[in-house]
Every structure is written in C-alpha cells, then in structure tokens.
Amino acid sequence: MKAAAFTSSGGPEVLRVMEVETPEAGSGQVRVLVKAAGVQPYDAAVRAGWEPPGLALGWPRIPGNEFAGIVDQVGDGVSGVSVGDEVLGFTAVNAYAEYTVVPAENVTAKPVGMPWTVAGGFTAGAQTAHIALRELGVGKGDTVLVHAAAGSVGTIAVQLAVLWGAAVIGTASMSNQNYVRGLGATPVVYGDGLADRVRKVSSAGVDAALDGAGGEALAVSLELVKDRERILTLVEHGKAAELGIRLTPNKRSAARLAELAALYAKGDLRFHVRKTYSLEEASDAHREIETGHGRGKIVLNLEPSRP
C-alpha cells in the first residue's frame, strides 16, 4: 500500500510517499480503507523524532492518529463492526496510509451527512476539547476563556461550552474575530493588553481557562483564574506540574467520539476544514501545521492518491 512515511526523523521534507506492507487485522482489530486523515502538531512531533510513551516504533514510520474510512477487514472476536461500515476513529500512528489497522473499540459509525474530510479530521480536536472541558468541570453559569478559539480544538471547545450553558470568551487573531463570534463566543484579540481586554468583556471574572496557545495565553490564564485546577494547557506540558494546572488525560473512546459525532449530525457542532492536501503533499501539510496559525483543521484527502 501507499503511505506518507519517513525513514529518518527530521523536518517536513523527510515525509514522502512510499510502498509499505499492507497490514492485516488481527484478533479484536479492524482494518480500514482510509479516506481521509487529520494532520496535527502531534504528528509533526512524531516526524521530528518524538516517540509516544509505551509505543515501540519501527522503520519506516507512518504518522497520523485520526482517520475516517471504510472497514474492509474484521479480525476474530470482533462484534458490532462489519465489512463495509463507514467509520471514523483514532490511533497513535499509521493513519497517513491507504489502510490502517486499529482495535475495534477505536472506531465508531460516521454520520451519513458528515463529509469524509470532516470525518478524517474530527476525532482528535473534538475529543480533546470534550475531555478538557470535562476535566475543568465546565457547566452552566461558568465563564470560560478559550485560547486559540479558531483552531480545531478551540472550535469544538467553544461550541461545547456554550451547549453546556457557559459563557465563552475566545482569543483569536484579528482575522478570526467574526469566526469565533459565530461559534458563540465573545472574541478578543491576542497581544499586549489581553488580560485587560478580557476583563472588559467579563466584569464577573473568568472561572476556567483552556490554553491552546501557550506563552502569553497561559500567563493571562494564571492571572485571571483564581483556581489553578480550573486551568488546563494543551501546549505547556513541561510547566503544568510546577504551576499546579491540568493536562488532558488520555481518555479517548469510541463512546465519547460517538456522542460528539451525534452532536455534529444534529447540527449542534460545526467543524471547519481549512485546507486539504493529498497524501503526496503530506510534507506541505506539516509545514502549514507547524506555523501554528489558521482556522480549523488541515486534512489529508487520500482519494486523489488512488489509481
């Protein structure tokens, strides 16, 4: 099969399409013909040499930890998933490929009306946002500060917090102010004086903060939120313990993903795909994701790569 892979760690240029062995579904697993795969900073870290804890990676290495496609092989002992099912799901690596094999409990049904490119990039941002807000105990009456509110995690976090009855302030660039407002948040612009701008739009203060930007965003969160257990960073992992703030635990599940997909199907969640790349353009997708800017999600569309 074709995969966007690398044989030595490095910059985006090490990613290239190569022929690798097609995996087979083992006991408890399913194989998925991948239609689309999301692109994340996590994938760029793997490409640069980081190895997810507890995972022994061989060579060549194939990044990608979220995908959507059609089940084409089912291993022994699997129930509830059949060949031909349209699914979206998650893994640690190996999604930038024509086929990926995952435990059957890592996939859930794709809503009929969800486009493949949306489905391919939906899993990580949606689950991360959901897990983070649950960790922060966000609910009715809270005022929540969401940094990087126009990104894939921020987009879902803003909408979920609003659905759960919270008021949301979302930080974003000037060009994304209307987008963030359309999600249901009060937008504020990044940069000097951010804390004062947040205070101006929330006289009652800020109860919780989700930091998707790091740096100044985290500093402002620490300044505005009294209870540090209600601050969670997606970026400043090395500082969390000393600051007494939260990180996102690994609680991804098919049940959580199904709940979020159902909200999308009902029209309660919107998800913006900023740009799609072909499998052959995976290195360009990594260059864009590493700029740290932009609205919504970058997705690999595998259809152009098929004969």
pLDDT tens digits for range 13-57: 999 999 999 999 999 999 999 999 999 999 999 999 999 888 889
Give me the percent of the chain exceeding a pLDDT of 70: 100
Q: Is the pLDDT of residue 182 over 80?
A: yes
pLDDT at 24: 98
pLDDT at 223: 97
- The whole-angstrom distance between residue 252's C-alpha and the CA centroid of its chain comes to 11
CB neighbours of 219 closer than 8 A, spacing ≥ 6? none
130-155 residue pLDDT tens: 999 999 999 999 999 999 999 999 99
pLDDT at 229: 97
In terms of C-beta density within 10 A (0-12 exposed, 13-18 middle, 19 or more buried), how is residue 255 classed? exposed
Q: Are residues 190 and 90 in the same domain?
A: no
Q: Identify the band that residue 304 occupies on the pLDDT scale cut at 50, 70 and 90.
A: confident
* 223 neighbors 198 (Cβ within 8 angstroms): no
Q: What is the mean pLDDT of the chain?
A: 96
Residue 17 belongs to a domain: yes
Q: Are residues 159 and 64 in the same domain?
A: no
- Beta-bridge partners for 166: none
User: Can you give the CATH number for the domain in which 95 is found?
Assistant: 3.90.180.10
User: Can you give the CATH number for the domain in which 212 is found?
Assistant: 3.40.50.720
Mean pLDDT, residues 79-104 = 97
Residue 263 belongs to a domain: no
Q: Are residues 98 and 134 in the same domain?
A: no
CB neighbours of 65 closer than 8 A, spacing ≥ 6? 38, 40, 42, 43, 90, 91, 92, 93, 95, 124
Residue 136 belongs to what domain range?
129-243
Residue 252 belongs to a domain: no
Asked which of 243, 260, 295 is the last residue of a domain, the reply is: 243
Mean pLDDT, residues 109-131 = 97
Lowest average pLDDT, out of 93-102, 243-252, 288-297, goes to 288-297
Q: Is the pLDDT of residue 294 over 90?
A: no
Q: How far apart are CA 157 and CA 68, in angstroms?
A: 21
Q: How far apart are CA 99 and CA 134, in angstroms?
A: 33
Q: Are residues 210 and 162 in the same domain?
A: yes
Q: Are residues 91 and 173 in the same domain?
A: no
pLDDT at 53: 87
Q: Are residues 105 and 136 in the same domain?
A: no
pLDDT at 129: 98
| Strands 143-146 and 186-189, sheet pairing | unpaired
Q: Are residues 95 and 142 in the same domain?
A: no
- The whole-angstrom distance between residue 281's C-alpha and the CA centroid of its chain comes to 20
- Alpha-carbon distance values, 142 to 202, 238, 248 (Å): 11, 27, 20
Q: Are residues 218 and 151 in the same domain?
A: yes
Q: Is the pLDDT of residue 292 over 90?
A: no
Q: Are residues 300 and 207 in the same domain?
A: no
Q: What is the pTM of this model?
A: 0.95
Q: What are phi and psi of 269, to 5 degrees?
A: -125, 135
Q: Are residues 77 and 155 in the same domain?
A: no
* 71 neighbors 85 (Cβ within 8 angstroms): yes
Long-range contact set of residues 164-168: C-beta below 8 Å, sequence gap at least 24: 164/133, 164/138, 164/139, 164/140, 165/139, 165/140, 165/141, 166/138, 166/139, 166/140, 166/141, 166/142, 167/142, 167/143, 167/202, 168/143, 168/144
Q: Are residues 226 and 297 in the same domain?
A: no
Secondary structure (H, E, C), the chain: CEEEEECCCCCHHHCEEEECCCCCCCCCEEEEEEEEEEECHHHHHHHHCCCCCCCCCCCCECCCCEEEEEEEEECCCCCCCCCCCEEEEECCCCCCECEEEEEHHHEEECCCCCCHHHHHHHHHHHHHHHHHHHHHCCCCCCEEEECCCCEHHHHHHHHHHHHCCCEEEEEECHHHHHHHHHHCCEEEECCCCHHHHHHHHCCCCCCEEEECCCCHHHHHHHHHCCCHHHEEECCCHHHHHHHCCECCCCCCCHHHHHHHHHHHHHCCCCCCEEEEECHHHHHHHHHHHCCCCCCEEEEEECHHHCC
Q: Is the pLDDT of residue 224 over 80?
A: yes
pLDDT at 204: 87
Q: Is the pLDDT of residue 85 over 90?
A: yes
pLDDT at 203: 83
Give how many domains the chain has, as a whole number. 2
Q: Is the pLDDT of residue 307 over 80?
A: no
Q: Is the pLDDT of residue 186 over 80?
A: yes
Q: Are residues 135 and 88 in the same domain?
A: no
